[in-house]
Amino acid sequence: MAASGAFMGARPLMDRTYEGDPTRPPAESFGLTPVVPPKRNRTAPWDCDREMHKGRNMVERVFNRTKRYRKAATRYDRLDEAFLADLRLILIATYLKKHSQKPN
């Protein structure tokens, strides 16, 4: 189990959908600094690390690519080790497929 305060200063990447008052203040009360841009219609917008928020898109793309593989999306494996092994194979296959399309 994580020690108390282990996540202090962590910066969770959040979507604009979750930028509202029910989500941000509780995260901040736990010592987390959410990285979420304010909606454009906010009267009092806050500063956001836009470069860090761009990393969220990359993570979402990886999850969407793994969902194409039915075995991982439905999680047929009962053991965590088997699921993680399949996930690693899927990520390797995705990486190879992406990099084999580019000419050297």
- Higher pLDDT: 76 or 7? It is 76
- Map residue 74 onto helix, strand or coil: helix
CA atoms within 13 A on the CB side of 97: 8
Tens of pLDDT, residues 28-78: 787 777 788 877 788 877 777 788 888 888 888 888 888 888 777 777 777
Give the position of tokens 């029910």: 22
- C-alpha distance across the termini of the chain, in Å: 46
Tens of pLDDT, residues 78-99: 788 888 888 888 889 888 888 8
- What is the distance between the alpha carbons of residues 54 and 77, in angstroms, rounded to a whole number? 32
Query: Which of 4, 103, 100, 14 has its CA nearest to residue 56?
Result: 14
Query: CA-CA distances (angstroms) from residue 39 to 3, 18, 47?
Result: 34, 10, 12
Element (H, E) at 34: none
pTM, to two decimals? 0.54
